[in-house]
Homo-oligomer: A and B are copies of this chain.
Amino acid sequence: MYVIGERINGMFENVKRAIQRKDAKVIQDLAKQQLTAGATALDVNVGPAAADAEGAMLWLAEAIRGVTDAPLSIDTAKWDVMCAVVSKIPGAKILNSSKADPEIARQYVALAVEYGAALIGLTIDSGGVPGNAEKRVELGAQFITIAMEGGLAMDKLFIDPIILPVNVAPQNPAHCMQAIAQLRLFADPAPHLLIGLSNVSQRCSNRSLINRAYLAMAMAQGMDGAIMDPLDEELMNTAITADLLNGKIIYCDSYLEAARHV
């Protein structure tokens, strides 16, 4: 399971303050904590309030690179910000994210290939978030084709079916699972299938429970990546246990600890 830690995001008050005060230690602690807890990569998002998105992204990346070489998921919806920072951030990178419109997807694929980065491709286009599984599969398959044509290896492509909150879109979590189950069959080797997990429970009660249950359910369908909170210990335990029950790791009494130190 490829866990991208979600905690370095300017929508969190502590990160927002750290960006404003240039307090690198707050960011570096969050980076180390998430990696120790089992994250493989770290999402980096300056948040909606950052006045200088490019400068804030570069400062965050520099702070994080002071303590780890883990892949950084450059999380911005702005193409110009992505282009400006990608060449300046050293080490492994994930471009997060591109929509599936062909002309947009081709640009992102080319950028990812140029910098040896991975790419998160959303099953959303200018028509908005699909209302069913079929349209997600169609857009995901289109993204896979564009990636192949552009020379991006499948192990560097993460398809994200776009999960919506279950209180707003009751059938959406089921649609995303169906899309995951189908999209993993579209190429061999398959691309990664990933979701922004916390979104499923936005503004719900029992958020951690909903996140845990959906993580296990989506992993049963073939999801092998998530942007999520690795500091939620029970959530990480669920991810590791789902890998166990999918037959991907072998049981020992201390399997939870063992998996965190791989």
In the complex, chain A residues 213-262 whose Cβ is within 8 Å of any chain B Cβ = 213-214, 216-221, 234, 237-238, 241-242, 244-247, 250-251, 253-256
Question: Any chain B CB within 8 A of the CB of A209?
Answer: yes
Give the contacting residue for A242; candidates B217, B221, B250; CB below 8 A: B217
Q: In the bound complex, do residue B173 and residue A209 qualify as a contact, i.e. CB atoms below 8 Å apart? A: no
Give the contacting residue for A217; candidates B170, B217, B251; CB below 8 A: B217
Please tell me how many copies of the chain the complex holds: 2
Question: Any chain B CB within 8 A of the CB of A92?
Answer: no
Point out the residues of chain B lying under 8 angstroms from A237, CB to CB: 206, 209
Question: Any chain B CB within 8 A of the CB of A205?
Answer: yes
Known: A166-B251, A209-B237, A220-B221. A245 touches B204 (CB 8 A): no
Give the contacting residue for A253; candidates B205, B216, B219, B220; CB below 8 A: B205
CA of A218 to CA of B221 in the docked complex: distance in angstroms?
10
Rounded to whole Å, the gap between the CB of A14 and the closest CB of chain B is: 27
| Residue among A174, A250, A251 with the highest chain B CB neighbour number at 10 A | A251
A-to-B contact residues, CB < 8 Å:
166-167, 170-171, 173-174, 177, 200, 204-206, 209-210, 212-214, 216-221, 234, 237-238, 241-242, 244-247, 250-251, 253-256
11 CB < 8 A contacts A-B:
A166-B244, A170-B250, A174-B246, A205-B253, A209-B238, A212-B238, A213-B238, A216-B220, A217-B219, A217-B220, A220-B221
